[in-house]
Amino acid sequence: MRFFALGPVCVFFLLLWVPACGEKVTSGSVNPCCYLPCQNQGVCVRYAEDKYECDCIRTGFHGENCTVPEFWTRVRLFLRPSPGAVHFILTHFSWIWDIVNSTFMRDFLMRLVLTVRSNFIPSPPTYNSKYSYLSWESYYNVSYYTRLLPPVPEDCPTPLGVRGGAGLPDPELLVEKLFKRKTFRKDPQRCNLMFAFFAQHFTHQFFKTYNRMGPGFTKALGHGVDAGHIYGDSLKRQLQLRLLKDGKLKYQLINGEMYPPTTLEAPVKMNYPPNTPQNQQLAFGHELFGLLPGLGMYGTIWLREHNRVCDILKTLHPHWDDEQLFQTTRFIIIGETIRIVIEEYVQQLSGYHMKLKFDPTMLHNTDFQYGNRIALEFDHLYHWHPLMPDALNIDGDTFTYEQFIFNTSILSHYGIEKLVESFSRQPAGQIGGGYNLHAIVVHVAVKTIEVSRLLRVQPFNEYRKRFNLKPYTSFREFSDDEEIALQLEEFYHGDINALEFYPGLLLEKTRPGAIFGESMVEMGAPFSLKGLLGNPICSPTYWKPSTFGGKVGFDIVNSATLKKLVCLNTKTCPYVAFRVPTQAELEKENRKRKDEL
């Protein structure tokens, strides 16, 4: 976003007016920081009753509200292309990208993407839901989700500071009117259910809100890719799932194939409906993975992969004990996960012609800081339930959600190959643009909005500014759907700056042919890439063959693909991808299968 020097009248009244030079900071009764006056990451410090000061140190701006750019900031802002222009270039001109992807330019641009995106995320972390200022507790207490922007001060008139003063819309009505699906709208980027279930299973290792402590807390103390959804989030759960022999996890054989054990064999706590027989309760690292067979499918695939890698390491290192085999295999699984996420999952999500690359050495000579804290905003942003279709199709059979939920028998009845093939061919829904949330999950959106207000998350436009995006000036600019724009104007009393964070992300107009809008991409990517590359295994200390049991283990990580993950752990190799195949791709796959036969 480009900021320019304010006019003389605005400069004179900067202390009394917000940076837009249009809304007065009321003295006396209202905390002036409630007006969120400090721009460009300036920090608001209150003095006395009605005075404040913006700390502009190292923001590149100065002035009362950190709105006047310094010389080099002006130069940088002038030269920096807009996010929309960058996205357009990355998603067009495929012939140029074919050349770039085969030259040294690929590494150069990938390093640039990683550093620019990751620099949006502060390290060390800053705020949490208790403190709107820097504190040792915010840094040290990893039981909290961190916060990118501080919560709105507690003594403000409204949850948004001073915005929404006439009352925020009822969340149930908001979701019913604008989120709830009318007709299923499939994703134009051709994401499929294999993608949707991957997103759900992968993020459950670090999005684990600890509701007993409060919605600002997390049980996932690893704060990143630690494979806790496979191994559990505590040592006790891990040991209950482990075979304690040859590094392996417990399992059962059904028709000669490996599946997760039941809770009779691995007595972990799982969330199944009351009175579900234990012999029908499959045991996973995550307590919710019995909910959907799509999650159980991925849990089964990773179980098989873990035990397969253990066999390889056991052959290479016959003197290793169970613990070393387990710990080294876990590193390999984490490495495989990150590679698949960056090179295939994020690749599919981005729609870029530039071929993304996972190579931690690209950052080893930079000032990149390792370590990560999961942010509350990232947790809220990733509620992508519009991905789910109206019904699930498996090998020609159709399941309603009532038939699909907690139906663990689907795993063994159809087998992993048929589930993978079916989910790879079925389209997922478009996330952005509104009107595409299935009725069965509308309560999740309602709860997210309620929690956002409880934790005093700043308005959507404040996050737009934080990620160098131009704040919207009207609801018609925000949405290209007239009905959505009019309804939002009514709900938020015509004030675009009162629009809340989560509704903004889900209702924003989508980019042409894209799964969601500009904000979701520009806000989500920095959280994602910082979390992935900030993993300890990517650091210079860890990223070497010995960490992974030698060259063979390192090669497993460096050659991991979604197809290998599935096909090395199934009897036959099904069609597997994160996007629905085109007719040409189907014909190519069929020809390949005929040749193999």
Q: Which residues are catalytic?
A: 204, 382
The CA-based angle 238-241-243, given to 5 degrees, is 110
- Dist. CA 494–CA 570, nearest whole Å: 56
Residue 224: strand, helix, or coil: coil
Q: What are phi and psi of 196, to 5 degrees?
A: -60, -45
Query: Is 3 in contact with 69 (CB distance < 8 Å)?
Result: yes
Rounded to the nearest 10 degrees, the angle between the axes of helix 293-316 and helix 551-558 is 150
Structure tokens at 556: 């497993």
Q: Is 392 helix (H, G, I), strand (E, B) or coil?
A: strand
User: Using CA atoms, how far apart are residues 541 and 414, in angstroms rounded to an integer?
Assistant: 44
What is the C-alpha separation between 586 and 575, in angstroms, rounded? 9
Beta bridge partners of 252: 259
Q: What are phi and psi of 369, to 5 degrees?
A: -105, 130
H or E, element range at 253:
strand 252-254
List the helix and strand counts (H, then E) for the chain: 25, 8
Measure Cα distances from 424 to 335, 353, 400 in Å: 23, 21, 18
What are 305's two structure tokens? 């992969």
CA–CA distance, 264 with 280 (Å, rounded to integer): 9
> In this structure, are residues 436 and 386 in contact, taking their beta carbons and an 8 Å threshold?
yes
Between the CA atoms of 497, 502, 506 and 510, what dihedral angle is there, to the nearest 10 degrees?
50
Q: How many CA atoms lie within 13 A of 301 on its CB side?
A: 29
Residues 464/472, Cβ–Cβ less than 8 Å: yes
Element (H, E) at 53: strand 51-55
Q: Give the residues across from 510 on adjacent strands.
A: 517
Cα 143 to Cα 510: distance, rounded to the nearest angstrom: 35
- Per-residue DSSP letters for 202-239? HHTTT--B-TTT-TTBBS-TT-S---HHHH-SSHHHHH
H-run or E-run covering 591:
helix 583-596
> What is the C-alpha separation between 498 and 453, in angstroms, rounded?
12
